[in-house]
Amino acid sequence: MTVYLPSEQQYIDKLIEIVEENFSNNNFGVAALAKRMGISHSGLHRKLKAISKQSISQFIRETRLKRARELLQLQAGTVADVAYRVGFGSTTYFSKCFHDYYGYPPGEVKKHLNSEPHSDVSTVHFEIPEKKIKSIAVLPFDNYTGDDSQTFLVFGMHDALISELGKLGAIRVVSKTSTLAYSNSEKTIKEIASELGVDAIIEASVMVVDKKIRIQLKLFNAFPEEQQLWAQTFDLDISNILKLYGQVIKKVANEIQYTLSPEQQTQIDEVRKVNPDSYKAYLRGKYNLYQQTPDGVKKGLEYLHEAVRIDPAEPLAYAGLALGYLDIAHGPFNVGDAYVKAEWAAGQAIKIDTTLAETQLAHAELCMYSSWTFNEAEKFFIRALELNPYLSLAHYHYAWALFLFGRNEEAIAEHELARRYDPFNPLITSFLGALYSYLGRYDDAIREAHNSLGILKDCPTGYFVLGETYLAMGRVDEAIEAHKKLSEVAPPWGWVLGYTYALTGHRGKAEIILNELENSELSGWNALGLAVLYGALGRYDEAFKWIGYEPHHVWIPWIAAMPMWKPLHDDARYDEFVRNLKLPGA
């Protein structure tokens, strides 16, 4: 045991007293201790080093561990209880630190009651940040390749790193859509972190050196002041890109004091190589799909097919294909054989790799939107979120499944998680408003609709939700104006204005839009519009005819839940349709 001079012992006792007073304060750390002692951070560090040969963070940690050992000896609670009482936010990290310090796990304290106390000097040197990192955003990578044609590569690696970090499960990761708003931003790290609601930021740049990819990564803690925690440069062949993601995960896990599970460690250590040409085609496909234009969708799917042609064992490309075809089924495009192709691609992906959250999401969407096997859909949603708890689109689609099942509070909770993990996604924001509207929370609905229009000028779904909400509130003129604007910025949504006209007494105007729609290209989207319009006009035979159109649009099952179908509720065929859906809990 270290022996101190009386003055030194008094100083150490005072430090221990302050640390123990703040066991329950998760934000208590190095700076707070220095402030309480009335000394600068560097001054306290020098003095503590001189007295006990410890860093400040080491002193805090070991004070917590000593008190924890005393409580465990007194059987004052479980390991988890004690860890929490002495200020450790993670039982896993507490157990690791305890074992490193005492040489045995905390669960074995009773076996070692008579053992000698451990030396006061620890060989573990984790730094305790002033505020533990619980959330992170990866900013768009800077393209220093000198070649704009490589934008797809930089974009794709940014997307992939976010996805891989999400699998860690120990830290909230903001989705790609929200971080892309900060491409070439001049805002500070602290400003960006504040707007995204995160504690830490990763910056990256990509260049090509001697035909190899060079990636420089930096991790910053944003609060209370910007602090660079680490920086590292990686030179690699693209075939080893998955290994890079694993190395970053390890570094982030270390910074947030998270111990990887044996399964996670194995997945990182045994990561496969990718075929460079196949992986590049996969990234090109994802990049083009993200443009959300007819040409982008076409090119994106072509590149993804090229990826699996080059390497038929590439699960990421199959998962990308499945989700790409399902996106077609969601939009105003002609569905065609999109469901069939999505099912084939998802099936191939899951044969190769069952650990991809995106593959599980594709199967969940197929069950929910195509085959209407809703119990299976929920199982796939849950598995997807086990694999990546921060996959915002999984939370988004699961929310609408729960709403369909009548589990409204759970639906709201899931949708709010989707928005939290992707706060600047206009689709997620606007449809959170739709969910609020359908559940009678009209003020919240209007707020989120306006938020989506702030994120994306003339966001179609923002105008859709505004009109739906005003209609439900009886604010007829505002509903018509919102849906007029919708039809202007997104003509395929024109049938929504016809439906609003029909419900507000403007039957002639509704009939004009109906006639235009009847003469339009036949598709699942237009069939959906015809069914809604005919229902609103009281022509139920025609409405049910178009409800039965195949291949159907993904919204069709929500006949059971969405207010736009209320005109059909008194028809016996409506009850029959809802029964045949065989919804969970029905």
Looking at the structure, tell me whether residues 11 and 56 fall in a common domain: yes
What was the pLDDT predicted at 4?
47
Looking at the structure, tell me whether residues 12 and 68 fall in a common domain: yes
Residue 407 within a domain = no
Tokens (6 digits) for 135: 């959330």
Looking at the structure, tell me whether residues 174 and 156 fall in a common domain: yes
CA distance 417 to 391: 10
What was the pLDDT predicted at 119?
32
- Reported as a single tens digit per residue, the pLDDT across 363-383 is 999 999 999 999 999 999 999
Looking at the structure, tell me whether residues 55 and 162 fall in a common domain: no
Looking at the structure, tell me whether residues 148 and 269 fall in a common domain: yes
E-strand spans in 133-211? 135-138, 142-143, 172-173, 200-209
Looking at the structure, tell me whether residues 246 and 297 fall in a common domain: no
CA distance 464 to 120: 65
What was the pLDDT predicted at 131?
56
Angle between helices 494-503 and 460-473 (to 10 degrees): 10
Residue 486 within a domain = no
Residue 360 within a domain = yes
Looking at the structure, tell me whether residues 148 and 259 fall in a common domain: yes
If you average pLDDT over residues 194-199, what whole number do you get? Answer: 90
Looking at the structure, tell me whether residues 91 and 16 fall in a common domain: yes
Does residue 134 carry a pLDDT above 90?
no
Residue 265 within a domain = yes
CA distance 462 to 467: 9
Residue 50, domain extent: 6-112
For residue 558, what pLDDT band results from cuts at 50, 70 and 90? very high
Does residue 567 carry a pLDDT above 90?
yes
What was the pLDDT predicted at 90?
66
Q: How far is the first Cα of the chain from the last one, in angstroms, to the nearest whole number?
A: 68
Region of poorest pLDDT, from 59-73, 80-94, 120-134: 120-134
Assess contact for 500 and 480: CB atoms under 8 A.
yes
The better pLDDT of the pair 163, 461 is held by 461
Does residue 121 carry a pLDDT above 50?
no
Tokens (6 digits) for 563: 């207010």
Tokens (6 digits) for 281: 């085609």
**Please, what is the average pLDDT of the chain?**
87
CATH code of 366's domain: 1.25.40.10
Q: Where do runs of H (alpha helix) occur along 174-314?
A: 176-179, 189-196, 241-255, 262-269, 276-290, 294-310
Region of poorest pLDDT, from 47-51, 284-288, 307-311: 47-51
CA distances to 36, 460, 550 from 523, rounded to whole Å, are 69, 19, 9
Tokens (6 digits) for 179: 């971080």
User: Structurally, how many domains does the chain consist of?
Assistant: 3
CATH code of 250's domain: 3.40.50.10070
CA distances to 184, 200, 409 from 143, rounded to whole Å, are 10, 22, 43
Looking at the structure, tell me whether residues 84 and 37 fall in a common domain: yes
Of the three residues 356, 389, 422, the one that is the final residue of a domain is 389
Residue 45 within a domain = yes
- ∠ at Cα 158 (157, 163), nearest 5°? 90
Looking at the structure, tell me whether residues 285 and 268 fall in a common domain: no
For residue 25, what pLDDT band results from cuts at 50, 70 and 90? low
Angle between helices 338-352 and 357-365 (to 10 degrees): 150
Residue 523 within a domain = no
Q: Which amino acid is at 497?
A: L
Of the three residues 355, 389, 423, the one that is the final residue of a domain is 389
Tokens (6 digits) for 495: 């049938």
Of the three residues 273, 306, 341, the one that is the final residue of a domain is 273
pTM for the whole structure: 0.74
Looking at the structure, tell me whether residues 261 and 144 fall in a common domain: yes
Assess contact for 81 and 87: CB atoms under 8 A.
no
Looking at the structure, tell me whether residues 286 and 368 fall in a common domain: yes
Residue 165 within a domain = yes
Residue 428 within a domain = no
CATH code of 108's domain: 1.10.10.60
Assess contact for 567 and 536: CB atoms under 8 A.
yes
What was the pLDDT predicted at 125?
31
